[in-house]
Amino acid sequence: MAPPLGDIAHLGHVELLTPDLDASVRFFIEYLGLTENGRSADGTSVYLRTWDDYEHHSLVLTAHETSGIRRTALRASSEEALQRRVKEAESAGRTGRWVEDEPGLGPLYVTTDPDGHEIALYWESEWYRAPDALKPGLKNQPQAKPGHGVGVRRLDHVNFLAADVGSNGGFVHEVLGARPTEQIQLDDGRIAAQWLTFSSKSYDVVYTEDWTGSTGRLHHIAFATDTREDILRAADLALDTGVFIETGPHKHAIQQTFFLYVYEPGGNRIELCNPLTRLVLAPDWPLITWTENERKKGQAWGLKTIESFHTHGTPPVSA
């Protein structure tokens, strides 16, 4: 039986790997509008934050020989909730380790999902205090809105590639307490993708089938904007600044998200999305299942879906 909703409060942050740390940092600051909030002692990791994040950082960029994802951090709703989830993870055979290796955070319990993605659970978190240069005009905002780039509001979700979507979705549902909201089921009964949420957002975590059979890979991470018009502006800015657009602006049929897929210089796919008007408020929300034939119709206005195999290296070269 799945645990009660609420033990995991929300998606905290992710750590991305990049073979070009300087270029990736410039992308997230200059194009997306994130703010740098410190570096590791050895300079190999940079901590960045979206303007409406109350925590120390929303994203960690770490120098590495390839792109990809290293860690996804989820904040618990209390110390007691954290300990409950740790106990459940260990009971499910996902025994992890305790670390204190990120600024602004207390102890993190680091485990993995069945596919090998690193999942960190934590409770203690230092609330961000903006320096004078970034103080907001309104006291209920953590930071002033950026005057450059897209100006994304928050980290919205992470989409993992997985060899077995069902077992990974089951782990997030049964051990961590998320509820699945939508999924794709192929004609042979296999679950090809599943969307799960920890809160009233329609999704925080997604698993998409990796048709190569590989494990531990990333499909994309996503940042939320205030409006659809911000997505259109992001496309214009990408064109002006040489950011590679993979697809969009368009609308997903599943979850109805207005989106744009781009690549950052390190080779990670980044989604800009506007899901802010869609919430799952019903406590008895039914799991919506899309068939293989329904998915062949493509996105909401007929655009075909992209293949789910990118993880490392540079984006395709545009013609």
Pairwise pLDDT comparison (248 vs 153), residue with the higher score: 153
Q: Determine the number of helices (DSSP H) and then strands (DSSP E) in the chain.
A: 5, 17
Contact of 144 with 135, CB cutoff 8 Å: yes
Rounded distance between C-alpha atoms, residue 153 and residue 175, angstroms: 29
Digit-coded pLDDT (tens) for 131-171: 999 999 999 999 999 999 999 999 999 999 999 999 999 99
Contact of 274 with 230, CB cutoff 8 Å: yes
Digit-coded pLDDT (tens) for 48-83: 999 999 999 999 999 999 999 999 999 999 999 999
Q: At residue 310, does pLDDT exceed 80?
A: no
Rounded distance between C-alpha atoms, residue 178 and residue 67, angstroms: 27
71-88 burial, b at 16+ Cβ within 10 Å, e below that, comes to bbbbbbbeeebbebbbeb
Token pair, residue 298, equals 């493509």
Q: Apex CA 60: angle with CA 56 and CA 63, to 5°?
A: 150
How far from chain centre, in Å, is Cα 133?
Answer: 28
